Amino acid sequence: MTRPPTTALPWGYWLVFGLYEPMLAICGFLGALANPKKAHDAQAPWPTGVAPPGPLAKATQVTMLQLAHVVGLLGLINLFVLGAARKYLFAQPALQEKIVGALLTPLLIADIVHLGITWWALGDSRWSMWEWSGLLWTTFLTGFSLLIPRVAWHMGIGRYVDRRDGQALRKT
């Protein structure tokens, strides 16, 4: 008989949500901070095929940097909350599951909304994938690379689930 999982955040999930996702978020923040116009102009295909020349309007630049800051902040929150859950709650997997779930549930909703809104906002350009920028492709690919493991975590794949594993763990 195999032993049930004893952590709600095994290494695979920790690598995805505690390291990979924060790295993506912080890199996105730094990229937008380094060149807000390039980040802005790569969000979607332009009707003429080329972004307008010249600097961004101040309101657009402020909005880009504020959004990039929020993305970076979410990455840091993942890093710190999940790091604390692994470090301090390893002996309490039921509580660890609740804390990790409290973070990953809104992020799962955000993944779905982010991908859905991006797809919808592209309008007819959504079908012209050959015109998509590298950043737009990255948005979808990294979005799914986070959505799929988040769904797997919520399904209880490869991790401790108190309703399923709690009785067996308490008997040992």
CA distance 39 to 31: 7
The residue type at 149: P
Tens-digit pLDDT profile for residues 82-91: 999 999 999 9
How does residue 2 score in pLDDT terms, banded at 50, 70 and 90? low
CA distance 89 to 8: 10
Average pLDDT, integer, range 46-71:
93
Taken as a whole, the chain contains a residue count of 172
By C-alpha distance, which of 34, 35, 21, 142 is closest to 71? 21
Q: If you count DSSP H runs as helices and E runs as strands, how many of each does the chain have, helices first? A: 7, 0
Task: Please report, rounded to a whole number, the percentage of residues in the chain having pLDDT higher than 70.
Answer: 95
Tens-digit pLDDT profile for residues 78-121: 999 999 999 999 999 999 999 999 999 999 999 999 999 999 99
Whole-structure pTM value? 0.89
C-beta pairs of 54-62 under 8 Å, 24+ apart in sequence: 61/36, 61/37
Q: Are 68 and 110 in contact (CB under 8 A)?
A: no
Give pLDDT, residue 160: 93
Residues 6+ apart with CB under 8 A from 16: 145, 146, 149
